[in-house]
Amino acid sequence: MKVRKLAVDFSTTPAQWAAIPEFAQSMNAASLWIPHLERFLNRTLSKASATLDASYPDTGRLKSDIRIFIRQEAMHYTLHAAFNDILPRQGYDVAGFERHFQAEFERIFSTKSLAFLCAYCEGFETMGPPMALAWLDEMEDMLEGARPEVIKLWKWHLMEEYEHRTVCHDVFHAIHGGYFLRVYGFFYQLFHLSGFSAMVLRHLLERDWAQMSPAEIKASRRRLRKVRFRIAGRALLRMSRALSPFYTPRNAKEPRMYRSYMAKVEGGFG
């Protein structure tokens, strides 16, 4: 793993940055909670690192992985925060959602056990490899005509999500390791975060639909159903493998374009 910086300017990026507006707004909705989630991930792993038993065989290696993970996630949430600024700049009132996300993660962090916090984080990181496969290998038709700076943001982010896919898994097993808590954490975060996305997406689309005719709204709803199936369909099936007692992210399929895209990012072209 390594920390990579990506220089991207979103100052002229429109909210509907893709040819399929509903796809753009779906990703905008998810991006809005990402900085809050990733700060939570970093707080949790920092807390876990401080409690790791020095006698645990992999403590040195795991602490090193955590340090790189935290730095990668800090880069991710910084760039997503810059990207998220496109919404209020273009008249979408999302400040209340951000306050809600911040309060929710503070509530969880301050009231739940470290073992649960690690299970939540491990559950979220389970989604990284399937989404990396989708973005790096399978969504070029959805991205045709999309703004290149946004494509760079998501591909870079998910390339690194695949790269650090084992860190939260290893931390959870060092802190607790129980199968049932891991599965509970997976479902908890899945419904928690999908609820965040749903509420934001509804708000964004309602504002868009207010400027459309009934026929245009009907067409938008059809596109939205296709987008939801495309984003979630394959990813959820792949994520279901995490329900196996023998699951390990080390066996996650490597995206075909993973190494070539990494080389582009490291060469200064994301």
Pairwise CA distance, residues 270 & 266, whole Å: 8
Residue pair 171/118 in contact by the 8 Å Cβ criterion: yes
Over the stretch 128-184, which tens digit does the pLDDT of each residue have?
999 999 999 998 889 999 999 999 999 999 999 999 999 999 999 999 999 999 999
Give me the residue label for tokens 């390791």. Answer: 177
State percent of the chain over pLDDT 90.
Answer: 86
Q: C-alpha angle with apex 252: 61 to 140, nearest 5 degrees?
A: 120
Q: Which helix (H) or strand (E) holds 238?
A: helix 214-239
Q: Which two tokens stand for residue 2?
A: 């390594």
Q: Give the per-residue pLDDT at 267.
A: 86
Mean pLDDT (whole number) for 7-16:
95
Pairwise CA distance, residues 120 & 108, whole Å: 10
Q: Give the per-residue pLDDT at 57.
A: 79
Residue pair 46/65 in contact by the 8 Å Cβ criterion: no
Pairwise CA distance, residues 33 & 50, whole Å: 26
Over the stretch 209-239, which tens digit does the pLDDT of each residue have?
999 999 999 999 999 999 988 887 777 778 7
Give SS3 for 253: coil
Pairwise CA distance, residues 78 & 262, whole Å: 20
Residue partners of 76: CB distance under 8 A and separation at least 6: 34, 38, 157, 160
Give me the residue label for tokens 């639909």. Answer: 209
CB atoms near residue 82 (< 10 Å)? 16
Q: Give the per-residue pLDDT at 236.
A: 75
Q: Which two tokens stand for residue 30?
A: 């998810």
Q: Which two tokens stand for residue 199?
A: 């509420």
pLDDT at 248 over 80: yes
Residue pair 238/129 in contact by the 8 Å Cβ criterion: yes
Nearest to 76 by CA among 197, 182, 159, 157: 157
Pairwise CA distance, residues 191 & 8, whole Å: 31
